[in-house]
Chain A
Amino acid sequence: MIGLVRAELLKIRRRQATLVLLVVALVLATVIFLATGAYWQISGLISFPQAYVFFQQSIFQVGGLIAIVFAAAYVGADWNWGVLRNVVARGEGRERYLLAKFIALTIVLALATLLMFAVCFLLVYVQGAIYNVPVASPLRADGLQDLVVWVVVGFPVLLQRAAIGFAVAAIFRSQLAGAVVGIVLFLVEAVVTTILTVLTFGSSIANGGLGDGLGNGPSIQTTGPEWFQFLPISIGGNVFGALPGAGGINSGDVSALLLRPVPFPIAMTAVVIYLIAAVGIALIALRRQEIA
């Protein structure tokens, strides 16, 4: 298995698409940084540990989309280039092979996440310099703990999203299909969730469900969690909403803003279940497939 994983890492390292997608991720992170800089200054989110929200936006939201594309392109290429035939005909176990690919994918995404964290740190300091705001130490007080929590909690969400692209490509036996379906799923789910959230939120208002009844005005997040908060992409947003510094907002998920978030343990469990299910489905798909 180790030999297989090393071979997979060699394939990823030498592939131009790996570098291209990494550059795209870095460019998008920078664009987000530039586009949201003014808002961040107003919101006081430039300094640590609040700046971790920016990390979340860049690494786990945008990165999640790129991870889907990368995973789909990576695993689907074996069908597109016909190389899977060579491997299976040599007597390699289909499940072993695909599992080795997923392990390699996990390693590469972990390294990419660390790199993105480093770049995001740099961007926060640049942002602080531009707006002349002291960013404070990322390791001050509970900053280090927050950072660890963000990585430990955020990475499984990133991996879960990559696993969706991985599974779709394995089922459709195509890198293009995997990437397209993954992106569509990502975007369509975001749109559908937003619509359903607004409808649910509006319905709550109409039913007088807002306000605490003590004259303190209406409050938000008085309804939910709703079923659509458990959809494969949305559930990650609920996990991010529970992270320190996020405060249930700015998680990139409207449902987390307007609805009561899914409790963290449940959301995290759902993410892990999705992750295992996606990899399991990919393994079963390959096990049953006939290879042309």
Chain B
Amino acid sequence: MTTEHTQAAAPLPPPVTVELAVATRGLVKSYGRHKALVGLDMSVPRGKVYGFLGPNGSGKTTALRLLTGLLRPNAGTIALFGVPYTWHDRKRLFRVGSLIETPSFYPYLSGSDNLRVLSAAGPPTDVSRIGQVLEYVGMGGRSKDPVQTYSLGMKQRLGIAAAMLSDPDLLLLDEPANGLDPGGMVAMRETLRYFTQDLGKTVVISSHLLHEVELLADVVGIIDRGRLLREGDLQQLLADAGRVKVRVALHEMSLAAEVLRRLAPDRPLYGVDSGEQAGWFTVGVTPNRATEINRALVEAGIYASGLEPGSDLESIFLELTGTGGSVHDRPGEVAPMGGPLPGTNAPSAPVQPPVQPGQDA
């Protein structure tokens, strides 16, 4: 990826070429009066893992349904591998495998029988592929049991197997980590990495698990209220975001907030005043200004107990979407502060510090 995929607010999207596995331009979808998508310009480069992020109801699943021909757009275009794709152009989907929302199967059929009946539909699929994909997702041992006896995580694995059944060039996975245990998440990550890095295929993952996406994605697109807010190479986004985390004593937070706000008046300031992360601020400046932060605090009579580079996907997500609670659903995560710090220009939603890389959230 190059920086050409990194967009600020609504610049022109890149031209649609065969190098893009998925390209949507001006995609609009309404459900009655509710507009789910209001002009989505999404560009998924080939051979990459694309993290598709957004708060609940932001339009992620709607976009994936449009890509798989389940819904009909009100306006806009879709191109798959550089070729325009329309509602009834079904054979274009032969190159696509998908898991949209919850995995759905015939409950009375076994896992392997479900894949067998599914393999009869769509692209020609060798029956021997069924055993392969079941092994991929670690379901070989339970494949003869009825699906109604499966746990959510097992259904999720079977859903991923179903998506991979026809050896597609593009995988669209909607919340694929739902219900997976830690081992399953690691296995999924490895499988998808193999899929992209070794086989040169493309994966689009829609997820709430930002940490998981950060570990897996090469490119991310962040969507809110039906519009793409930011899209680009993940590492580039993290570098561009430029944040420093600083920790002060709890009773000095209000004063520190005033000082820190002056250093980056046009960027939001995040902080937390309770829980294990109490006292941490996330300041919207590049790490090379860390010394400046320290000096400003000292001049105000405040001594920082921690100072470190602090950009992560979560903080970028929070800044772009202005959400606080909806994405912080990892168990054990720090409690929200309950509102913006006095004197800060943080969003009005509850604010939290980004989770430390490697932190057991």
Contacts and interface: CB of A to CB of B under 8 A. Distances in A.
Interface of A: 3-4, 6-8, 10-11, 14-16, 77, 81-83, 85-94, 97, 290-292
Given A15-B108, A16-B108, A290-B70, A90 B123 contact: yes
A83 B122 contact: no
Nearest to B110: A14
Contacts of A94: 90
Counting from the closest, the 3 A-B pairs by CB-CB distance are A90-B122, A82-B104, A91-B93
B117 interface: yes
Given A10-B116, A10-B117, A88 B69 contact: yes
Contacts of A6: 120
Chain B residues touching A, range: 20 to 34
B71 interface: yes
Contact of B104 (A11, A16, A86): A86
B121 A92 contact: yes
A59 to B, nearest CB: 27
28 contacts: A4-B121, A6-B120, A7-B116, A10-B116, A10-B117, A11-B117, A14-B109, A14-B113, A15-B108, A16-B108, A81-B104, A82-B101, A82-B104, A83-B105, A85-B101, A86-B104, A87-B118, A89-B69, A90-B97, A90-B98, A90-B122, A91-B69, A93-B90, A94-B90, A290-B71, A290-B72, A291-B65, A292-B65
B265 interface: no
A77 B166 CA distance: 24
Interface string B122-140: 1100000000000000000
A100 B297 CA distance: 73
B68 A89 contact: yes
Interface string B86-122: 0000111110111011101111110001001110111
Contacts of B116: 7, 10
Contact of A91 (B91, B107, B109, B120): B91
A90 B106 contact: no
B162 interface: yes
Nearest to B102: A82
Contacts of A90: 93-94, 97-98, 118, 121-123, 166
B247 to A, nearest CB: 47
A292 B71 CA distance: 8
Contacts of A86: 104-105, 118, 121, 162
A85 B71 contact: no
Contacts of A89: 68-70, 93, 96, 98, 100
Interface string B160-182: 00100010000000000000000
Interface in B238-288: none
B178 to A, nearest CB: 15
B116 to A, nearest CB: 7
Contacts of B102: 82
Nearest to A2: B120
A92 B165 CA distance: 14
- Interface SS of A by simple majority: helix
Contacts of A15: 106, 108
B70 A88 contact: yes
A292 to B, nearest CB: 8
Given A7-B120, A15-B108, A291 B70 contact: yes
B68 A88 contact: yes
Given A90-B122, A93-B90, A85 B117 contact: no
A36 B120 CA distance: 47
B70 A91 contact: no
B223 to A, nearest CB: 19
Most chain A Cβ neighbours within 10 Å, of B96, B104, B121, B166 = B121
Given A83-B104, A291-B70, A91 B117 contact: no
Nearest to A84: B104
B298 to A, nearest CB: 58
Contacts of B162: 86
Contact of A87 (B72, B108, B122, B166): B122
A87 B125 CA distance: 13
Given A15-B106, A81-B106, 8 more contacts: A14-B109, A82-B102, A86-B118, A89-B93, A90-B98, A90-B123, A290-B71, A292-B70
A7 B113 CA distance: 9
Contact of B120 (A3, A16, A77, A93): A3
B121 A7 contact: yes
A38 to B, nearest CB: 42
B317 to A, nearest CB: 27
Contacts of B109: 10-11, 14
A92 B90 contact: yes
Nearest to A77: B106
A52 to B, nearest CB: 37
B108 A14 contact: yes
Contacts of B90: 88, 91-94
Contacts of B92: 91
- Residue in B100, B101, B104, B117 with the greatest tally of chain A CB atoms within 10 Å: B117
Nearest to A3: B120
Nearest to B72: A290
A82 to B, nearest CB: 3
A9 to B, nearest CB: 10
- Which of the listed residues B90, B102, B105 has the most CB atoms from chain A within 10 Å of its own CB? B90
A112 B57 CA distance: 47
